[in-house]
Structure 1
Amino acid sequence: MASEGELIYEGSNFFRQRLTLATLCGKPIKIKNIRTSDAEPGLKEYEASFIRLLDKLCNGSQIVVNDTGTSVLYKPGILMGGQLDHSCSNQRAIGYYLEPLFMLSPFCKNPVIITLTGVTNNKVDPSIDMIRTSMLPVMKKFFGTDDELSLKLVKRGLQPGGGGTVTFTCPIRRTFRSFQWLESGRVKRIRGVAYSSRVAPAVTNRMLDAAKKVFATFLTDVYFTVDNAKGKSPGFGLCTVAETNKGSYLSAESISNPPSDDVDIRLPEDIGQEAAWRLLEEIYRGGCVDSLCQPLVLLFMILTSKDISKIVLGPLTPYSIHFLRHIRDFFQVTFKIDEYQDNADLFSDGDKEAEEKEFRCGEKKLVLTCVGIGYTNVSKGQI
């Protein structure tokens, strides 16, 4: 809904999507009725922290929050970037803030070097390990180089204590080229990291043994590293990533429950098996990128030069579906979505009825096509 040049939304859903896209296209937005019916109405601590992060990243932004925190008026400024520090709320993980940073950082005036402190792993947001093994290779594919693009985990911190530190470095680009990404390939190896904090080192070995038993049924090239940290809060988890022969990465993770009186303690064997089965589910869904990277790729597709871009994805997540709707609102771009037909997956034994039947490996795939808007990093050329 638009009024006098600004977009108006209601509710707290997809808060980051709306502010991130508004920053890129330069349109002011107003979000009202934020949790008005809740016992604690208004913005949460982590949402206020995200607004402060945007304010640090941009110059000239106008942010107006009413007294109750149930209404936000945001007029974006110019993306400046530079060397920044930000203390994230422990209510959400650092991955909550990194996802929009991956979308905004390439279009800043100065290369981004930002240090984030807070929770590195929780049960809700993507962990630093997932982002590093899944989203970072996608960014490198668009940049065409590994230079100056990095995500370093300096110190691990689990909920509720946090205390983790992450450094993200991203160069800037003036434009992105259109692309055709239609082959995801077959899985050739599985990698991952088993991490723990303030628990016995044997816990990581138990997770690894459980996960390897699941993967051993399918392939033998499975290797994990171990990270036994000394954080503020106890916990453990396993991040797994599958690499294909076409350069695609699919990731999944499982983590123990935070220490609390009202949650059950999970065994390391359960964590290992759950991480393995989640990765197998991602492989079954298929696509050139996993569920985590879908919004990032969709955004970069519309920001490319004025040419056609295509990509093959697995079933769209609800988050990605709403992201497509917001892209339509902010950039007036819609995608053409077709069912993917792979002739290599068609088998026939000469029977006419069998020829009409189609055998597919995994879930049905989608081909998403759009024409880029020719987005240019205007901040890069300004003095």
Structure 2
Amino acid sequence: MQTLAIDGSVLEGGGQILRNSISLSALLGKPINISKVRNGRKPPGLKNQHRTGIELAAEIASARLTGATNGSSSVFFSPTRIAAGDYTADPVTAGAATLLLQISLPILLFASSTTPSTLTLKGGTNATMAPQIDYIQHVFLPFATRHFGLKVDVDVRRRGYFPRGGGEVHVTVFPGVDGAKLTAASVLERGAVTRIGGIAHVAGLPAHLGKAMADSAIARLAAAGFAPDAPVPVSVEIASTREKNENTIGAGSGIVLWAELAGGGMIGGSAVGSKQKDAVTVGEEAANELIKGLEAGGCVDEWLEDQIIIFMALAEGTSEVRCGKDGLTLHTKTAIWVAEQLTGASFDITVQDSGHTIIKCHGIGYTAPSEEVK
């Protein structure tokens, strides 16, 4: 089969092109050569977490892989057969475990097996340049389960923070069987905010810092009109947890918030603690991010927006999702570009009179091949 050339410098020019291209290559059996890897980053080329993710995908898809070394700007990936199983990936840094999940999850959803696969993903669970694991648990997966039919369980065994990492996440992926396809998502009506949930977490630090994050987020949300006693009442429940000392390496903190919408949408907001910010500020930052997402008026936030593109492309039928008034992010545009290059799915982007952007995708109705890709 002819190798497809992918320009890694297109649009956002980061790791997302790498992850989405590799996932789709594995599923579709298309050999790819990605050049100018992470050309838009300083320094460019592969870092530990990117290399680890590619190696994980290669193991799952029994792929021939070259160029997977730190600093490499060109990667060749040629898959053969996707195998269900038990896999482990460890970047040996604080590299994000959630980004390892992004590259491997779409592949394992279509493993030819009646039994689930498991992923043991190590590294950072709560970082600034990637979704926190709590966002995956409480925003991405609930949305993807409801609208695309995913069946995935996530168990955080140990949290890992920058710079030491050391976190561990166990993921169980239940594949579709007998040619099952992802369902198309139709999320066009936002509806009211039905509930706001959240979790403020600390490890290796005093428990009162978690409570301070949660309390400041609640106060900020109330000032914006999201509270049980507001004119339009909204339930707000933000838990505060402190990890046991044996369940973390190093110290760190963070908070993830999520708003559930009556129309089936999800909006998230998050912040990660640091020595430069007090706990009150961290809680307010997460609340401000959630409020911004809600005020944009979409059914998904800007991070969920780009993460669902690959599933829209693979699903059967036409998916439609209403996004906010700020226009599509560069990450979303990049994800659409990659999906169109590899899958043949077509996307239509329209802006309503209200200013909201609608993403419509005519998916390919992907099913796993019954025989090994040649």
Give the TM-score normalised by structure 1.
0.83
Taking a change above 3 Å as real, the CA distance of residues 58 and 244 of structure 1, as seen in their structure-2 partners, is: same
Establish whether residue 134 from structure 1 lines up as the match of residue 135 from structure 2: no
Distance in 1 (CA, whole Å) between partners of 2:148 and 2:40 is 44
Q: Which runs of no fewer than 5 residues in structure 1 stay unpaired? A: 258-263, 342-359
Matching residue within 361, 370, 375 for 2:366: 375
Taking a change above 3 Å as real, the CA distance of residues 70 and 245 of structure 1, as seen in their structure-2 partners, is: closer
Q: Is the 1:109–1:381 contact (alpha carbons within 8 Å) kept by the matching residues of 2?
A: no
Q: Is the 1:303–1:374 contact (alpha carbons within 8 Å) kept by the matching residues of 2?
A: yes
Establish whether residue 207 from structure 1 lines up as the match of residue 207 from structure 2: no
Distance in 2 (CA, whole Å) between partners of 1:154 and 1:66 is 29
Q: Which secondary structure does the structure 1 equivalent of 2:96 belong to?
A: coil
Taking a change above 3 Å as real, the CA distance of residues 243 and 49 of structure 1, as seen in their structure-2 partners, is: same
Establish whether residue 303 from structure 1 lines up as the match of residue 331 from structure 2: no
Q: Which runs of no fewer than 5 residues in structure 2 stay unpaired? A: 229-234
Q: Which secondary structure does the structure 2 equivalent of 1:121 belong to?
A: coil
Q: Paired residue for 2:66?
A: 64
Distance in 2 (CA, whole Å) between partners of 1:33 and 1:316 is 24
Distance in 1 (CA, whole Å) between partners of 2:193 and 2:283 is 20
Q: Paired residue for 1:6?
A: 4
Deviations 1:271-313, CA, capped at 9 Å, x for gaps: 01101000111112232222222234322222223x3332222
Establish whether residue 164 from structure 1 lines up as the match of residue 167 from structure 2: yes
Q: Is the 2:8–2:38 contact (alpha carbons within 8 Å) kept by the matching residues of 1?
A: no
Q: Which secondary structure does the structure 1 equivalent of 2:85 belong to?
A: strand
Distance in 2 (CA, whole Å) between partners of 1:165 and 1:48 is 18
Q: Paired residue for 1:273?
A: 284
Deviations 1:125-171, CA, capped at 9 Å, x for gaps: 111101101111122114548xx631111111211122211111111
Q: Paired residue for 2:22?
A: 19
- After TM superposition, list the pairs within 5 Å mapping 1:109-188 onto structure 2: 109-110=112-113, 111-142=116-147, 144=149, 149-173=152-176, 174-188=180-194
**AA at the equivalent of 1:318:** L
Matching residue within 227, 232, 242 for 1:228: 242
Taking a change above 3 Å as real, the CA distance of residues 276 and 64 of structure 1, as seen in their structure-2 partners, is: same
- After TM superposition, list the pairs within 5 Å mapping 1:272-351 onto structure 2: 272-305=283-316, 307-314=317-324, 315-340=327-352
Distance in 2 (CA, whole Å) between partners of 1:302 and 1:36 is 25
Q: Which secondary structure does the structure 2 equivalent of 1:56 belong to?
A: helix
Q: Is the 2:38–2:73 contact (alpha carbons within 8 Å) kept by the matching residues of 1?
A: yes
Q: Paired residue for 1:355?
A: none
* CA RMSD, Structure 1 to Structure 2 (Å): 2.7
Distance in 1 (CA, whole Å) between partners of 2:136 and 2:371 is 26
Distance in 1 (CA, whole Å) between partners of 2:84 and 2:146 is 22
Q: Which secondary structure does the structure 1 equivalent of 2:365 belong to?
A: coil
Aligned length in residues: 349
- C-alpha deviation, 1:28, in angstroms: 1.4
Per mean C-alpha deviation after superposition, the further-off stretch among 235-244 and 23-32 is 23-32
Which stretches of structure 1, 4 residues or more, deviate above 6 A after TM superposition?
35-41
Taking a change above 3 Å as real, the CA distance of residues 214 and 155 of structure 1, as seen in their structure-2 partners, is: same
Distance in 2 (CA, whole Å) between partners of 1:166 and 1:125 is 15
Distance in 1 (CA, whole Å) between partners of 2:241 and 2:6 is 45
- After TM superposition, list the pairs within 5 Å mapping 1:256-267 onto structure 2: 256-257=273-274, 265-267=276-278
Distance in 1 (CA, whole Å) between partners of 2:360 and 2:42 is 43
Give the TM-score normalised by structure 2.
0.85
Q: Is the 1:26–1:77 contact (alpha carbons within 8 Å) kept by the matching residues of 2?
A: yes
Taking a change above 3 Å as real, the CA distance of residues 379 and 139 of structure 1, as seen in their structure-2 partners, is: farther
**AA at the equivalent of 1:251:** G
Q: Paired residue for 2:255?
A: 238
The sequence identity of aligned pairs, in percent, is 26
Q: Is the 1:108–1:379 contact (alpha carbons within 8 Å) kept by the matching residues of 2?
A: no
Distance in 2 (CA, whole Å) between partners of 1:319 and 1:227 is 32
Taking a change above 3 Å as real, the CA distance of residues 340 and 379 of structure 1, as seen in their structure-2 partners, is: farther
- C-alpha deviation, 1:91, in angstroms: 4.1
Establish whether residue 255 from structure 1 lines up as the match of residue 272 from structure 2: yes
